[in-house]
């Protein structure tokens, strides 16, 4: 229902972001390949499987604390 406008918005945002960074860093080397990975519809099992593959255990996390909302 909202997928087409959302996709157009995301593509426009990426194009705008890349044009700004390209203009500000003209002397920097230009990347040859850009890979955008969108993980739509992944459940907790996906993250658990990734942790087992990457770290060998689900208990090992990259960050020590999870996100918290503060006042």
For 39-50, the pLDDT digits (tens) are 778 888 888 888
Tokens of 36: 């955008």
Nearest CA to 51 out of 63, 40, 41, 38 is that of 63
Does this model's pTM top 0.75? My answer is no
The per-residue pLDDT for range 59-71, each reduced to its tens digit, is 766 656 666 666 5
Residue 52's pLDDT is 84
Q: For residues 58 and 51, is the Cβ–Cβ distance under 8 A?
A: yes
pLDDT tens-digit map of 3-40: 677 778 888 887 777 776 555 556 677 778 888 877 77
């Amino acid at each position: 229902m909202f997928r087409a406008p959302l996709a157009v918005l995301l593509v426009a945002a990426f194009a705008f972001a890349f044009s700004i960074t390209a203009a500000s860093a003209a002397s920097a080397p230009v990347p040859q390949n850009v890979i955008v990975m969108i993980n739509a519809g992944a459940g907790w099992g996906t993250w658990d499987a990734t942790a087992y593959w990457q770290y060998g255990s689900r208990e090992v996390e990259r960050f020590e604390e999870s996100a918290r909302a503060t006042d």
